[in-house]
Amino acid sequence: MSTKIFCDIADLNLIKRFNKKKIVKGFTTNPSLMRKAGARDYQAYSKQILKICRNKPISLEVFADDHRSMIKQGIKINSWGKNVYVKVPIINSQNQFTGKVIKELNNRNIKLNITAVYTAKQTEKILKKINKKTKVIISIFAGRAGDTGKDPVPEFVKSLKMAKKFKNVEILWASVREPYNFVQAKQLGCHIITIPPSIIEKIQNFGKSFKELTVETVKAFLVDSKKSRFKI
């Protein structure tokens, strides 16, 4: 199984650019990326994204904090396009599990991306709320876990094992910190990894030898020392 690369971005110009790349199989967004991109009207901005990205899956996140409003937003977001996955955080800001939201939207055959997941126990809770027909992505935040000194790999291993019983479920490596995370995701058997544009650019350079990297590194040192006019 090959690990699909999604691009984690909300900037319209970058979406236009990366939508043309064959390596990119889909897109993920979140309210923070939307804000950074300058979005003011969530619906209007999302529809601009969907005009660019018509044929690849794209995750658009609910931003309500109570379960009833999350369900309402999820139904509306789903109506914007056939390639839309409704992104739902595993809890709200009050640390309340969104199982009711997940179950309701899943029962309506709405494709979901469950986000802000960190543990296999959380994966297990999600799997108990879904059917075995409607597509579901479970996004596990590897980078943020690693930032706190925790190894996310065991959580992926257990989550992937549980997900094997569901042909409609894909495990996504989220919160990428470096290009090598793509190698790790592939080795684990993750279905998807979502990656910022700058790191996708680096992944496209995979395959260089250590010799080539050594030469490039030393040449860069030389160029910078000349530009700085260093003397001893």
Any idea which residues carry the catalytic annotation? 87
Contact 100, 67 (CB under 8 A): yes
In eight-state DSSP terms, residue 86 is E
Contact 185, 205 (CB under 8 A): no
- If you search the block for the tokens 């250590």, which residue do you land on? 210
CA 147, 148, 149, 153 torsion-angle sign: negative
CB atoms within 10 A of CB 89: 19
Contact 202, 180 (CB under 8 A): no
Distance CA 45, CA 10 (A): 9
Q: What is the CA radius of gyration of the chain?
A: 20
CA 100, 47, 45, 14 torsion-angle sign: positive
Pairing mode, strands 4-8 and 192-195: parallel
Q: How far is CA 2 from CA 8, 23, 183, 192, in A?
A: 19, 12, 11, 9
